[in-house]
Amino acid sequence: MGNFHLSNREFGEWGEQIAVDYLNNHNVKIVDRNIRTNYGEIDIIGQKDGVLIFFEVKARRTEDFGNPEDAVNYIKQEHIRNSALEFFQTNQEIEMDWRIDVIAIYVDKKNKLQIRWFKNAIAD
């Protein structure tokens, strides 16, 4: 796939689909995607082993600005944490353990993928 010709938005959507495929292959049940909250968007919500997991997906096609996971700075972490808490406030019937993970995707100019899954990346 010539991902270097995609717009930033299209590349982000492509990265989220790569993450969904990766998570499906790692026995994560995808519950929902692209959930809007007052604090921002939750990219993916999944479930595995009785734990609800909020996934932040970061994809990069260049290392000019560091690794993909470097983009999940303190402010972004606060937005994700607050989004997860708002999700539970609006879905009070859901009572389960939860955590926030980051899926970092880097694709080089030869379209070679590197995917890293950071579990419990953001403390609740």
Domain-by-domain residue ranges, the chain?
Answer: 3-122
Provide the whole-model pTM: 0.89
Question: How buried is 6 (Cβ within 10 angstroms: 0-12 exposed, 13-18 middle, 19+ buried)?
Answer: middle
The burial class, CB within 10 Å (0-12 / 13-18 / 19+), for 12 is middle
Topology of domain 3-122, CATH:
Trna Endonuclease; Chain: A, domain 1 (3.40.1350)
User: Which tokens hold the place of 111?
Assistant: 């379209």
The model's pLDDT over 60-103, given as tens digits with 9 standing for 90+, comes to 887 777 788 878 888 888 999 999 999 999 988 988 999 999 99
State yes or no: pLDDT of 124 exceeds 60.
no
Q: Whole-angstrom Cα distance, residue 78 to residue 72?
A: 10
**Residue 10: its pLDDT value, please?**
85
Is the pLDDT at 58 greater than 70, yes or no?
A: yes
